[in-house]
Amino acid sequence: MTNPLLSPWTAPFGLPPFAAIRDEDFGPAFDAALAEARGNVAAIAEAKDAPTFANTIAALEMAEAMLDRVSGVFYNLAGADSTEAREALMRDLAPKMSAFASEVTNNKALFARIDDLWARRDALGLTAEEMRVLTLYRRMFVRSGAELTGEAAERLTAVKSRLAVLGTQFGQNLLADEREWFMVLAEDDLAGLPDFVVASARAAGAERGQNGPVVTLNRSLIVPFLQFSPRRGLRRQAYEAWVARGANGNDHDNRAIAAEILALRDERAKLLGYDSFAAFKLEPEMAKTPDAVRGLLMRVWEPARKKALADAAVLEAMLEADGEAGPLEPWDWRYYSEKRRKAEHDLDEAALKPYLSLDAMLGAQFDCANRLFGLEFREIAGPFYHPDVRGWEVTRRGNHVAVFLGDYFARSSKRSGAWCSAMRSQKKLGGDVRPIVVNVCNFAKGEPALLSYDDARTLFHEFGHALHQMLSDVTFGFISGTSVARDFVELPSQLYEHWLEVPEVLEKHARHWQTGEAMPADMLKRLLAAGTYDQGFATVEFVSSAMVDLAFHEGAAPADPMAKQAEVLEALGMPRAIRMRHATPHFAHVFSGDGYSSGYYSYMWSEVMDADAFAAFEEAGDPFDAETAAKLETHILSAGGSEEAELLYTRFRGRMPGVEALLKGRGLLDAA
């Protein structure tokens, strides 16, 4: 039987043949794709012709085309719809893919060709984009150990292979803990819960094979349960299970894995000549140094902590007024904060959600993209990789731009969180390749699906990433879309969140799912007025996580990461009723791969820019100002990694921003 992953794809828009792909197709497809890639790379390295940009760098760009195609399908499915077979293959692939990457960057003949081009770069007549790609290729090879020889080179290869295995294991352990735990609720336990939470709990129970409602560790269910359940004992049981993910002393415990990962990262950095892994990791980012990261985080930490402690005193008084014994505990914060929000802002999430159906908010995100960038969205039929997935063709002025897939509902086969990925990235080398972009969220399924305001913000956030992919307009896939500095990649996503706060957007799209009536004007006003509510809590839980991440990687690797975590939090003066957003054993951003290691701060670094970037529209007097939107697309969304991030932002805004816009946006200026 022909392997559908290796055959030509004839579906509309070059979509993968999802219905024909079986789990057992992936292994042979990877074997064939890796063999083809190895052959192509060897041919480039061993070529007798003198190195040119075309026969070396451009050829490398094309060398892994089949591997990119197979990987684009597999890794999207493995994260969004795991099976035992896919998880087993991920474990098998981790060392294989690492070994292949090391083979390429350790190929001395290949690096010699790149180095020769680098030495002659000014005489090659390269375009600006070609010069950038050459620069990044050489940097990638050097940072991957291309200049190492002998035992050092061999050890680095072994370290990277082991890190790939451990990162995969960390993520699978976390998914296993999230999949296996649930708390059965008796009918009496539903007292005080809004209808949408009850409906979500019943749906989760049905998915888990139970006859009644359950609470799972999915954020879209456990957070509203913590917000609304008046039963303190149940809140505590659910919360403690949530924060114990990856630290239950079972086969899925991640604490020893985290320690080994940190030790290996430190060794990797030392082999490459850096003082610490943080110094190595931050060198190509906008921040450049650990000191710059700490400076930003501490500038925000003090006012956030001050605000959080003041809020904690108010919430503890509410707790005691309920006849409960203090002190305020982490499983109490969301419950009393929700009561306070309702009292102070007259905002009831249960009353708000009917105006924020998933379909309405999808309409809002598409409408904003149309008004800003002229994009049109037409829903298309599947089949896609799961029945929950929806698809749209994206066009502009009648021309095909991209395919956009949305996978929005929580399920036990999907890892937690929300993300954007590309099954196929935009590029022009070898033909005009248009992207297939995927947004994945974990909203509670319902008829219809009703979102919290935070859910709607997540929807817009991930769509901002999608726009970065869809509007990419570069020649080389190596710098396409979100292939930018880690502390720049969150700018488009966080910037797009601002359009959810534009009153005219909610006036148009926030409509009751049953009656079609617009959100009442007074409710909309209260919603927007509460935009900075509880930002002390949100900022403290984020910054504490970022500071722990930085501390893990800045000096010698801690033998006991949990002890180091406790030490950092004590030094910060962490409020006792708030925990890190991501404790070490379930800090997937940092330990499931290298992506955000030493880089969790990136969200806040980008937030400094996104607050300033949206101010450009405000200064123009129109959140949909055409000239500003065109500049945003030209200098950021379409540019990919074609230049250093500072240059791209400065071209858009004329300067780099200060931290004040961030503090103002979070309502923390008064506490600063």
Q: For 520-557, how does the pLDDT look when each residue is reduced to its tens digit (9 = 90+)? A: 999 999 999 888 899 999 999 999 999 999 999 999 99
Residue 1 has pLDDT above 80, yes or no: no
Encode pLDDT of 223-244 as tens digits.
999 999 999 999 999 999 999 9
pLDDT level of residue 671 (50, 70, 90 thresholds): low
Q: What is the pLDDT of residue 26?
A: 97
Q: How many helices (H) and strands (E) does the chain have?
A: 27, 7
Domain ranges of the chain: 12-105+107-140, 181-243, 255-347+535-600
pLDDT at 318 over 90: yes
Q: Would you place residue 96 in the very low, low, confident or very high pLDDT band (cuts 50, 70, 90)?
A: very high
Q: Can you state the angle between helices 602-620 and 645-653, rounded to 10 degrees?
A: 20
- Tell me the C-alpha to C-alpha distance, in Å, between residue 405 and each of 13, 338, 382, 449: 12, 33, 10, 17
Read off the pLDDT of each residue in 214-225 and give the average, rounded to a whole number: 94
CA dist., res. 193 & res. 268, Å (int): 50
How far is it, in rounded angstroms, from Cα 599 to Cα 330?
Answer: 26
Closest CA to 617 of 489, 464, 499, 456: 499
Specify the pairing of strand 375-380 against strand 436-443.
unpaired
Which pLDDT score, from 0 to 100, does residue 531 have?
86
Average pLDDT over residues 596-611: 94
pLDDT of residue 596: 93
Q: What is the pLDDT of residues 323-358, one digit of tens each?
A: 999 899 999 999 999 999 999 998 888 899 999 999
| pLDDT for res 240 | 98
Residue 300 CA: distances (Å) to CA of 452, 501, 536, 649, 671: 26, 23, 10, 22, 10
CA angle 389–380–502, rounded 5-degree value: 75
Three-state DSSP state, 8 = coil
Q: Tell whether the model's pLDDT for residue 46 goes beyond 80.
A: yes
Mean residue pLDDT of the chain comes to 96
pLDDT of residue 91: 96
Identify the residue whose tokens are 């219905």.
19
Any catalytic annotation for residue 462?
Answer: yes
How far apart (Å, rounded) are the C-alpha atoms in residues 446 and 596?
A: 33
Over residues 374-383, the mean pLDDT reads: 96
Would you state the pLDDT for residue 236? 98
Q: Does domain 12-105+107-140 have CATH number 1.25.40?
A: no
Provide CATH code, domain 255-347+535-600: 1.10.1370.10
pLDDT at site 672: 61
| pLDDT at 446 > cutoff 90 | no
Which residue among the candidates 462, 490, 497, 643 is catalytic per the annotation?
Answer: 462
Measure the CA–CA gap between 262 and 275, rounded to whole angstroms. 14
Q: 268 pLDDT band (50/70/90 cuts)? A: very high
Confidence of residue 662 (pLDDT cuts 50, 70, 90): confident
Arithmetic mean of pLDDT, 495-505: 97
670 pLDDT exceeds 90? no
Listing DSSP states for 47-111 in one string gives: -SSPP-IIIIIIHHHHHTHHHHHHHHHHHHHHHHS--HHHHHHHHHHHHHHHHHHHHHHT-HHHH
pTM score of the predicted model: 0.94
How does residue 319 score in pLDDT terms, banded at 50, 70 and 90?
A: very high
Q: Provide mean pLDDT across the span 391-420.
A: 95
Tell me whether the CATH fold assigned to 12-105+107-140 matches the one assigned to 255-347+535-600: no
Q: Is the pLDDT of residue 4 over 70?
A: yes
pLDDT score recorded for residue 661 = 83
